[in-house]
Structure 1
Amino acid sequence: METEHFEEAARILARLEQGARLELINGKVTSKPMPDGDRGRIIQWLLRICMQHRPELFLDPNQGLKTESCRKGRLRPDGLLVPCDAFVGQGEWADPDPVLMVVEVTSHDSDTEQRDRVEKPRACAEANIPLYLLIDRQECQVSLYSEPDGTRHEDVRTVSYGKSLHLPDPVGITVETEQLKDWVN
């Protein structure tokens, strides 16, 4: 057992040296590649859309969340759509109650499948965050997870890049995904 922990720690440290950051999901320390320029541009694109249609909201790319329902784990997604003052007075790990939508943009690494498509949506559903938006650069599609029941999302809608996707209440925005084709790499 100790050898497994040592090997995992060595793997994570090696990834940190290559430009990764640590994440704590479901009580487990993992590493994630640092955001690349295309990924950052996708977040910028969505931030502008949200600001144009819902200026009272902010897409926060830096805030971490407490996910108590996930064995006291921590979650740091690529973006959190919240009312502008939602995290005032909170520390690095904030309460998820004011979060309307979590945004994740896939990375180009082997952990994407488990982290972005399984663990993070589950953590969001368990925290009853209304929407989880996954912008999947490998599959060239956008998936919207909605109607959390405390365990999982009851509804998942996926569209290919180039199609419209309506983000229902509490967000109430329709996004045109054509431009995402420019940032697939």
Structure 2
Amino acid sequence: MTPRTADRPQPQMSIEEFEELARRAPEMVRLEFINGKVQVKAVPDGNHGQIVMWLLKRCMQQRPEWSLFPEQGLAVESYRKGRARPDGVLAPEEYFVGAGEWSDPKGVLMTVQVTSKDADTTRRDRVEKPDGYAAAGIPVHLLVDRDACCLTVHAEPEGGVYRAVTTRPFGAVVELPDPVGITLETEKLKDYAE
């Protein structure tokens, strides 16, 4: 058990109750279940969506055998007791066919999170989600931080945390480690920061 998980409070509800709640939520509401708490995922603005599209194109150009799936639900955290919707999930083409709303993260190569303009961004996007993705064994997590104008690459998941974390400013050339192996020239991201 990692120090971050040792003092977690009891979950607000069971996974089954959360999944039922998420199924019944209105279409414009996206729910996640992180660290035992129901969270509402912010509706993305235009710049957020443009960053995801920019990254999707880079992935397609360099690794056409893979797809960057927007908003794919994943069963994450220890023993899959969490449910998250990364802004992007890099996996082999057609990987999620028949998988359902909350897919097993085994085989996922990378998750992508673009920070939102809301009060929970630091806790949710910079701490809780990377921990959940690391606990699920996802090899690479990319955080595109619009507030700090930087990209943070998390790699080498072990014991529920990423052992290698590298941050580079927008404009730098960023190498996404294996198994992703994609190079990002990030100058254009300066246009999408706010």
Q: Any unmatched runs of 5+ in structure 1?
A: 6-15
CA contact (8 A) 1:103 1:134 kept: yes
Find the counterpart in structure 1 of residue 150 from structure 2. Answer: 141
Query: Does 2:46 match 1:61?
Result: no
Amino acid at match of 2:94: D
Find the counterpart in structure 2 of residue 87 from structure 1. Answer: 96
Find the counterpart in structure 1 of residue 182 from structure 2. Answer: 173
Cα distance in 2 for partners of 1:30, 1:90 equals: 23
Q: Any unmatched runs of 5+ in structure 2?
A: 1-11, 13-24
Find the counterpart in structure 1 of residue 3 from structure 2. Answer: none
Calculate the TM-score normalised by the size of structure 1: 0.87
Is the alpha carbon distance of 1:118 and 1:90 closer, same or farther for their aligned partners in structure 2, counting shifts above 3 Å?
Answer: same
**Structure 1 residues 116-173: Cα deviation after superposition (integer angstroms, max 9, x where no partner):** 0100000011001000000000000000000000310000000001001100111111
1:183 corresponds to which of 178, 188, 192: 192
| CA shift for structure 1 position 68 | 5.1
Find the counterpart in structure 1 of residue 4 from structure 2. Answer: none
| CA shift for structure 1 position 22 | 2.2
Is the alpha carbon distance of 1:62 and 1:131 closer, same or farther for their aligned partners in structure 2, counting shifts above 3 Å?
Answer: same
| CA shift for structure 1 position 71 | 6.0
DSSP-derived class of the 1:97 partner: coil
Find the counterpart in structure 1 of residue 168 from structure 2. Answer: 159
Cα distance in 1 for partners of 2:86, 2:149 equals: 19
| CA shift for structure 1 position 20 | 5.6
Calculate the TM-score normalised by the size of structure 2: 0.83
| CA shift for structure 1 position 33 | 1.7
Say how many residue pairs are matched: 170
Query: Does 2:107 match 1:106?
Result: no
Deviates more, 1:127-136 or 1:20-29: 20-29
Find the counterpart in structure 2 of residue 12 from structure 1. Answer: none
Amino acid at match of 2:127: V
Cα distance in 2 for partners of 1:33, 1:62 equals: 12
CA contact (8 A) 1:159 1:165 kept: yes
| CA shift for structure 1 position 184 | 0.7
